[in-house]
Amino acid sequence: MILPILAVVLGLVVLVISSDRFVDGAAATARHFGMPSLLIGMVIVGFGTSAPELVVSVLSAIRGNAGIAIGNAYGSNIANIALILGLTALLSPVQVSSKILKKELPILTLVTLLSFFLLYDLNISLFDAGILLLCIALLMVWSIFNGLKNEPDTLADTIDEAVPEPISMRRAVLYLIFGLLFLILSSRLLVWGAIEIAQFFGVSDLVIGLTIVAVGTSLPELASSIIAAKKGEHDIAMGNVIGSNLFNSTAVVGVAGAIYPFEIESLVLRRDMSTMLILTVSLFIIGYGFRKNRQGRVNRFEGAVLLSMYIGYTILLMRTAV
């Protein structure tokens, strides 16, 4: 039992470090080819922080462990909103002033509703996976279109400062190659350890995916959101959560379903998907700021509520674990 625990811990540590190097390498390479800072931040850095979820879910799907694949994606979404944004808001209230993020909040809500609808028959088919992958493709095009506009935006200003400092092309390519290599190796180690732990305790791989794996693969978002909030870069903190959740709900689940179409338990829909939907709608209401002259804002009280919801969900998960 000690070996699987060490595998999970080591896998998570290497996963976070390699993900960071992979994103830095990708951002630096894109910058060398003249990609604007806003696009680097939105597309590469924003979606790149979800690389751990994607690699873990793909490897899980290949091994036939659908529970880890689906649990990792939706568990990460729950953790991103309730745990990560909750903790971040407790440290420093998160304001949403970017017009780009205000467009993405309703899109995230619609994508979550679409995911709920597609999984209502308790099955992720090739058709369902195709729809989700089409969604992420359209979202990428939409992000690029918005990023290429020369309109002033607070997110563009903060990303210009937050994008990693330029490094040589040679180092950027090395970061890119070795970051991806260790991403894959550490993910394989993590998935193996998670499966062994699930079998030892007699719980489903879904529960392990929703807890240990989901929180572990969300660590890059936690680190980047807290750092961004402390620097006053609130839009980046919120953008990390929105971008990651969009990517998880579409690309991560879509790729896993395309590799290995699978059925899900009804409990996933009632417990996990419903929790994710409630949290997403709550984030939309809190972050959009519907009152006149009121900027979208996640204050400390709302952060405490989100964190309490995550604790409550975790207790529910443990009580219904199978």
For the chain, the domain total comes to 1
CB 249 within 8 A of CB 132: yes
- What gap in Å lies between CA 313 and CA 240, rounded to an integer? 22
Residue 294 scores a pLDDT above 80: no
List all residues 6 or more positions away from 77 whose beta carbon is below 8 Å from its beta carbon. 112, 244, 245, 248, 249, 276, 279, 280
Instruction: Kindly report the average pLDDT of the chain as a whole number.
Output: 80
pLDDT of residue 305: 92
The burial of 167, by beta-carbon neighbours within 10 Å (0-12 exposed, 13-18 middle, 19 or more buried), is given as: middle
- Whether 240 and 46 have beta carbons less than 8 Å apart is answered as yes
Which tops the pLDDT comparison, 19 or 174? 174
* In the predicted structure, residue 33 carries a pLDDT above the cut 80: no
Average pLDDT of span 38-50: 62
> What percent of the chain lies above the pLDDT cut of 90?
18
The pLDDT of residue 169 is: 79
Residue 132 CA to residue 188 CA, distance in Å, equals: 25
pLDDT category at 131 given cuts 50, 70, 90 is: very high
pLDDT at 112: 94
Residue span of the structural domain in which 11 resides: 2-319
CATH code of the domain containing 120? 1.20.1420.30
Tell me the range of 54-58, 170-174, 274-278 where mean pLDDT is highest.
274-278
Residue 167 has pLDDT above 80, yes or no: no
Calculate mean pLDDT across residues 14-25. Answer: 78
| pLDDT over threshold 60, residue 213 | yes
E strands present in the chain:
94-96, 123-124, 262-263, 296-298
pLDDT at 295: 64
pLDDT at 162: 52
